[in-house]
Chain A
Amino acid sequence: MRWKRPVRVEAWIPTASTADIAFLLLIFFMATTIFRMENGLPVTLPRAEAGVPVPRRLATHVYLDARGSLSVDDFLLTVPELRPVLARLLRENPALLVGLTVDREVPYARVDAVIEELKRSGARNVSFTVQPDRRSR
């Protein structure tokens, strides 16, 4: 009787699925990445420790820069023009959150004038945008 020589099976690690996994992860990051579309105005935010995360999708931003310029949704406005714009946004979304993104050097009188307009336009939920600060002052 003649013995057949055993067939040697080559040992290898299959790598074909690695690309699938990588592409799955890639598609996940591409799908969940949100690019900021709003430019706003250049402001240096004040620092605060008690800041809480603000859901960007629920908020509209009122920018007030150090030179006194005011913008909402990338439109430059004056303080009296703020009320009709916010009233329209509030009609579309009554639970609108208004994020006040104000430069730290702005005199408080300007901010107070904006807050008064917010009250008159019917905005209730306001958030003073801050830069997170873990240091104690």
Chain B
Amino acid sequence: MVTTEPAASTESTPPAESTPSAESARPAGPPPFDPELGAALTIIREAVQLDLTVETIPERRRPNPLFPPPSDQELSLGGAFEVSERQVPGPDGAPDISLLIARPVGLAAPGPAIYHIHGGGMIMGDNRQGLPMVIGWAAQLGAAVVSVEYRLAPETPHPGPVEDCYAGLVWTAAHADELNIDPGRIVVAGGSAGGGLAAAVALLARDRGGPALFGQFLMCPMLDDRNDTPSAVQMAGLGVWDHASNEVGWTALLGDQRGALDVSPYAAPARATDLSGLPPTFIDVGSAETFRDEAVSYATRIWQAGGVAELHVWPGGFHGFQVMVPQAAVSQDATAAQWDWFRRLLA
């Protein structure tokens, strides 16, 4: 049974930088969704429309009853974690930022930490989104979780969001003693826009001589503002985050600089020309989503730069399939692969 597709065997996706020609300009039809994911998608699409525009951002930020935010009580896993919100200094000249801190109770020695950055296309979401899964892992690893509430685009364009994320990381590393965290074992983690921001934070930490990260965990990361890979084109109008939604998200962050020649790698990590010197990296993505090719390319370029990366491309997965349809067989396998990576890295 094929569960992951090695990057080298993607015969249907020419490299993004290949010369456009009549043959390669139009990718073939989209890969089919996994049967279980496709069936669930029809229900999900009733709640998640592909009609995102700059105007509908406020509406999309309203709480979705399908995905309620977890309470402190839920996040404490029955008292295993002490959960608090803490205001810490933001970037120079910017407001304080809020960190949700979940610390394992009764840990004798300092443990690892997962520094979590939520997703939401750069324009929505909050620092509780996606946390139950992360705290579930942390509970088995004796790890603390710190989840940053960064300012969102378009109200706060680049570099506000990524600088907020970075400031929270710097504060966390500097207060490791107080938090009972081993500052040498901090893993930055995020999904979707959070994955893109996590990758950008890792680049910043490398380039500014900031906290030495122990790993970067990038779930279906949003890395490339150019929005022109074969998968971005191929999946237009399909799934839950398509070419048009992606354009709205990046434009909110970068304005008319989206797709320009000199976009910063700290905004769009796919723009980085140097991917050496990064911590061990986990990347996963679905074969049937906008971000497939940029995620595969990022892992490939880390290897080419002599780095350590683990890449999973789940066949027939749409964006966020594993979170939205956790019970599907392919989602269970994707979750198991994520947990395995954390366990090998930290346990």
Bound together: no
> Could you tell me which B residues sit within 8 Å of A by CB distance?
none
